[in-house]
Amino acid sequence: MKTVHFVRALSLLLLGGISTDLLAAHADCSVAGGTLLKWPATGPAVWEMCWLSPAQSSGVQGSGLEVRDVHYKGILVAKRIHSPILFAEYRNGAGGNCYRDWKDANARFAATPAVRNQLGVPGSFVATTTCDVSKSATASHGSCPFSNLSPNPFTNADCMNSGVAIEDMTNQKIPSESYVLLTTQYSASWYQYASRIAFYANGDINPEFGYGNSNGTYNNVTHWHHNYWRIDFDIDGAEHDQISANGVLKPTEFTDLRSLTGGPDGGPTHWEVSDSVQNFGYRVTSGASDYTPVNESGRGLHLADVIGTRFINNEYSDKVDNNLNDCEMAATNLANGESIADTDVVLYYTASVRDSTANNWPTSANPVPQDSMVCKKVGPLITPVGDWPIFRDDFAG
């Protein structure tokens, strides 16, 4: 068997121009922590990673759905992808408050038994969260089995109490569009946050965050939600990474604003983290619904869309605690001018949404229609760039 593997590996080297020192790496959950996922279940693993539920996730009061030691075709992509910073911010002077929410309380959502905390093929429905069923501007549906739905296709038997649904979405007709989908839900009082990440056969990564409300509390006050993904890219290892914005290298830690239109006040529309030696990496491109202008509330609590920093061990947030009423995201606590050239880097990416009401906002003459209970889903597309090897092989039997 070793001879067969050697011939296959040699063929890959000749066809793909892969140097012999680039051998396959694999997710090691005994070191990284979490539960091993290999996809597809049979044959060479396109994706390997270690997953953790919100209750298991890292950081002060958790970080929601978390994946560690993420490998694509035998190449390390990221040490950790998670969401350790999360806010609900209410309009100043309109009642309510603002909150730095927690991310470690598993919540009930619907999933077929085959995909509950294991890789499987979804049955009669795909994993369904409170966010997925929240399509009314004023009605609340609670947690699984979503009692206010009519007709309601779900029963208590469909409800997953905790953990992560892992669904094999293989497309036999178009293999390149196949993907594995991880879904979870977690609660912060009346809020039910949904977190998903899709890993595609072509190397794309698509994280999605959904902001749901389970009982309608404060749905009559305009408010904003801010989720900060922390993506600890380690492209082919932690060393020699670099960040660029619209193709321009960032030599030091930074904060950026985002503009989907590239208008006069606009900043970058995409950011790349690449290995300066191997010349490949990943591009983060804003999703079409990600753009809510910073400081739209007028409170000055969230003033950055993207933050690039040098890696510091166990630094997951702008604060060392998670004080409930500490509403300001202190970006300068993370980005304070250190060099990020050819080193180990971390990218924070923010996606915010507004839950609007008709209570005279933005002006009494031009109030916005209420959509506060309609769940919004946002997230960037993360795509491979550069000269990625075809597939690494470790010559193992």
Bridge-based pairing state of the strands 376-378 and 205-213: antiparallel
Computed over every residue of the chain, the mean pLDDT equals 88
Does residue 392 fall inside a structural domain? no
Higher pLDDT, 290 or 153: 153
Confidence tier at 397 by pLDDT (50, 70, 90) = very low
Closest CA to 246 of 258, 263, 236: 258
Positive or negative: CA dihedral 25, 29, 32, 35:
positive
Does residue 137 fall inside a structural domain? yes
Higher pLDDT, 16 or 313: 313
**Residue 298, pLDDT score:** 86
In the chain, the number of structural domains is 1
CATH number at residue 332: 2.70.98.20
Does residue 223 fall inside a structural domain? yes
Confidence tier at 158 by pLDDT (50, 70, 90) = very high
Q: What is the pLDDT of residues 16-25, one digit of tens each?
A: 444 434 578 9
**Residue 265, pLDDT score:** 54
Does residue 395 fall inside a structural domain? no
Confidence tier at 94 by pLDDT (50, 70, 90) = low
Statement: residue 62 has pLDDT above 80: yes
Confidence tier at 219 by pLDDT (50, 70, 90) = confident
Does residue 156 fall inside a structural domain? yes
Judge if pTM exceeds 0.85: yes
Bridge-based pairing state of the strands 119-120 and 165-169: parallel
Report residue 342 as tokens: 């050819």
Does residue 396 fall inside a structural domain? no
**Residue 22, pLDDT score:** 56
Give per-residue burial for 227-237: e unless 16+ CB within 10 Å, then b: bbbbbbbbbbe
Does residue 391 fall inside a structural domain? no
**Residue 13, pLDDT score:** 35
Range name among 35-39, 127-131, 354-358 with the lowest pLDDT average: 354-358
Give per-residue burial for 362-387: e unless 16+ CB within 10 Å, then b: eeeeeeeebbbbbbbbbbbbbbbeee
Q: Residue 58 belongs to what domain range?
A: 2-386
Statement: residue 6 has pLDDT above 70: no
**Residue 240, pLDDT score:** 97
**Residue 79, pLDDT score:** 98
Cα separation values, 346 from 51, 104, 144, 241, 310, Å: 19, 22, 35, 10, 6
Distance CA 19, CA 10 (A): 10
Closest CA to 356 of 170, 221, 225: 221
Statement: residue 191 has pLDDT above 50: yes
**Residue 18, pLDDT score:** 41
Range name among 3-17, 158-172, 271-285, 364-378 with the lowest pLDDT average: 3-17
| Average pLDDT value for residue range 211-215 | 89
Q: What is the pLDDT of residues 241-267, one digit of tens each?
A: 999 999 999 999 999 988 755 444 556
Higher pLDDT, 313 or 14: 313
